[in-house]
């Protein structure tokens, strides 16, 4: 590592912040772009499972809340792609890579939704898992990203509340409604356990070394379990992992080791709904291309 | 996809022929829009803080997008939307002469104060005590 890079590394590890125009090592820049791009892609793809349910949501209030949540997510995607652009990768290239399958997005958005129970579980637990990571990103060494995370975290808190409200409504309803939630939880537990990624130690995680992430994967997962297992169990729901329990001595949550190969397969586009979702994204991009042309031509 | 010359196959809602953009239009198409910096004020009396950027073809759209991103829920009392090129960044402040006499950290009165108190016999009166400098 050359001196300039070594000094930069020392600087960010000591809590130093980096702005768009600052010098940064190529490795830092490319890792940053990849990470932030994946986040933007996830916000954009995350809209699709929920969008399916706007017309099928059980009440007008739920339709409105779901629509507002989707609007937020798309707004987040736009903000985040803007950050990537300022780092040097144009939005068009990001979207090209997304629909071609070259770029990744979070595992949870590669799965289909089957019932309204899924919608509640996603808005509550998937968003909860995401917010654990996002809070840690408030300390990202790259300041423009850290700044937009503030707005994103603020809006995500409404999403979680909406999700929890949906779940609470279902579990205090009929037996059939309760069963919807339990069944959805049974299917979503594995993707949730995968969400924070495999347990690389912080020192070996380049993202933590460069202070892009300030939290190791396992730490995030533990935080999620610590916060949400009690909240799930207090509703009378069963978590489909017999081995899930808290070690009283260490305070750590023990669980059945997830299949990390499966996670890798899913995020490389082999999830149950990956192909369908990417095809939709490709199609919608082609369909709205004329809007972009007309708007830009008129403004010229 | 961005080629204004080739008319697309018709899809729902599409105009029958895409107007040929002039050379300025083609520049805009290639470079997308312009970048606008958005500053928001949380409450009256608070400073405006940088909140992010929007990418828009002109001021009209920039205002609309800024309102959408940063004003949808009455979370700001005011926004400043500024084209990026209007912002001049200054980040180097040479201090060759180290003119400390102009700053609070340019004065160290501890030693002299101790001497003065010693002389006046008031060391024990000093608030918090005054150990030898």
Tens of pLDDT along A31-88? 999 999 999 999 999 999 999 999 999 999 999 999 999 999 999 999 999 999 999 9
How many angstroms separate the CA of residue B46 from the nearest CA in chain A? Answer: 17
Q: Which residues of B touch A (CB under 8 A)?
A: 1-2, 4, 8, 11, 14-15, 18-19, 21-22, 24-29, 32-33, 35, 50-55, 57-58, 61, 68-70, 72, 75, 89
Query: Quick one: pLDDT at residue B72?
Result: 86
Query: How sure is the predictor about A292, in pLDDT bands with cuts at 50, 70 and 90?
Result: confident
pLDDT value at position A300? 65
Nearest chain B Cα distance for residue A50, angstroms: 20
Structure tokens at A279: 């095809």
Helix (H, G, I), strand (E, B) or coil at B14: coil
pLDDT at B6: 32
pLDDT in tens, B34-70: 999 999 999 999 999 998 899 998 999 999 999 999 9
List Cα–Cα distances, A247 to A201, A226, A253, in angstroms. 20, 11, 6
Q: Does A148 touch chain B (CB under 8 A)?
A: yes
The counts of H helices and E strands in chain A are 12, 2
CA distance A257 to A221: 12
Q: State how far residue B100 is from chain A, nearest Cα, in angstroms.
A: 26
Residue of B nearest to A72 (CA): B69
**pLDDT tens-digit map of A217-245:** 999 999 999 999 999 999 999 999 999 99
* Cα of A188 vs its chain's centroid, Å: 14
Question: Contacts of residue B48 in chain A, CB cutoff 8 Å?
Answer: none
216-255 in A: which are within 8 Å (CB) of B? Answer: none
Residues in A closer than 8 angstroms to B15, CB to CB, are: 290, 294
Tell me, what DSSP letter sits at residue A267? Answer: I
The Cα of A49 is separated from the nearest Cα of chain B by a number of Å equal to 22
Average the pLDDT over A187-203 and give the result: 96
Give the integer Cα–Cα distance in Å for A218 and A176: 35
When the pLDDT of each residue in chain A is averaged and rounded to a whole number, the result is 94
For B60, nearest residue in chain A (alpha carbons):
A299
Backbone torsions φ then ψ of B2, nearest 5 degrees: -95, 15
Q: Is the pTM of this model over 0.90?
A: no
Question: Domain B31-86: which CATH class?
Answer: alpha beta
Q: How many domains does chain A have?
A: 1
**Which residue among B21, B52, B89 places its CB closest to the CB of A297?**
B21
pLDDT tens digits, one per residue of B64-116: 999 999 988 888 999 999 999 999 988 888 877 777 777 787 788 888 888 88
| Two structure tokens written together for A20 | 């768009």
Q: What is the pLDDT of residue B123?
A: 86
Q: What are the φ/ψ torsions at residue B78 (nearest 5 degrees)?
A: -155, 155
* Segments forming the whole domain that contains residue A215: 3-299
CATH of the domain at A164: 1.20.1260.10
Q: Which residue pairs, CB below 8 angstroms and at least 24 apart, start in B6-14?
A: B8/A289, B8/A290, B11/A287, B11/A290, B14/A290
């Amino acid at each position: 590592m050359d001196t300039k890079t070594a000094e930069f590394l020392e600087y960010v590890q000591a809590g130093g912040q980096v702005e768009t125009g600052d010098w940064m090592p190529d490795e830092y820049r490319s890792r940053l772009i990849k990470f932030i791009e994946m986040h933007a892609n996830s916000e954009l793809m995350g809209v699709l499972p929920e969008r399916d349910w706007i017309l099928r949501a059980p009440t007008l209030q739920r339709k409105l809340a779901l629509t507002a949540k989707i609007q937020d997510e798309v707004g987040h995607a736009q903000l985040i792609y803007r950050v990537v652009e300022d780092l040097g990768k144009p939005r068009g290239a990001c979207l090209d890579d997304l629909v071609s399958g070259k770029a990744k997005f979070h595992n949870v958005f590669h799965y289909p939704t089957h019932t309204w129970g899924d919608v509640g579980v996603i808005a509550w637990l998937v968003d909860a898992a995401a917010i654990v990571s996002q809070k840690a990103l408030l300390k990202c060494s790259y300041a423009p990203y850290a700044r937009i995370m503030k707005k994103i975290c603020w809006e995500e808190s409404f999403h979680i509340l909406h999700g929890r409200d949906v779940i609470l409504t279902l579990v205090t309803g009929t037996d059939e409604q309760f069963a919807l939630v339990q069944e959805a939880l049974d299917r979503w537990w594995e993707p949730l356990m995968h969400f924070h990624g495999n347990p690389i130690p912080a020192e070996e995680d380049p993202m933590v070394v460069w202070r892009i992430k300030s939290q190791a994967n396992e730490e995030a997962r533990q935080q999620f379990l610590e916060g949400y297992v009690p909240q799930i169990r207090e509703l009378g729901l069963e978590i489909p992992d017999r081995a899930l329990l808290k070690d009283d001595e260490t305070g750590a949550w023990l669980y059945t080791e997830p299949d990390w190969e499966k996670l890798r397969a899913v995020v490389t586009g082999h999830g149950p709904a990956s192909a369908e979702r990417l095809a939709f994204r490709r199609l919608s991009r082609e369909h709205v291309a004329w809007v972009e042309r007309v708007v830009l031509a008129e403004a010229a | 996809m961005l080629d204004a010359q080739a008319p697309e196959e018709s899809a729902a809602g599409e105009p029958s022929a895409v107007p040929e953009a002039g050379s300025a239009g083609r520049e805009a198409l290639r470079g997308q829009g312009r970048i606008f910096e958005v500053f928001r004020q949380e409450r009256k009396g608070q400073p405006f803080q940088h909140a992010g950027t929007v990418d828009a073809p002109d001021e009209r759209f920039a205002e609309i997008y800024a309102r959408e991103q940063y004003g949808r829920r009455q979370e700001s009392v005011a926004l400043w939307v500024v084209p990026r090129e209007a912002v001049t960044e200054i980040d180097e402040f040479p201090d060759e002469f180290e003119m400390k006499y102009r700053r609070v950290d340019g004065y160290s009165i501890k030693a002299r104060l101790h001497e003065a108190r010693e002389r006046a016999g008031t060391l024990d009166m000093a608030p918090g005590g005054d150990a030898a400098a």
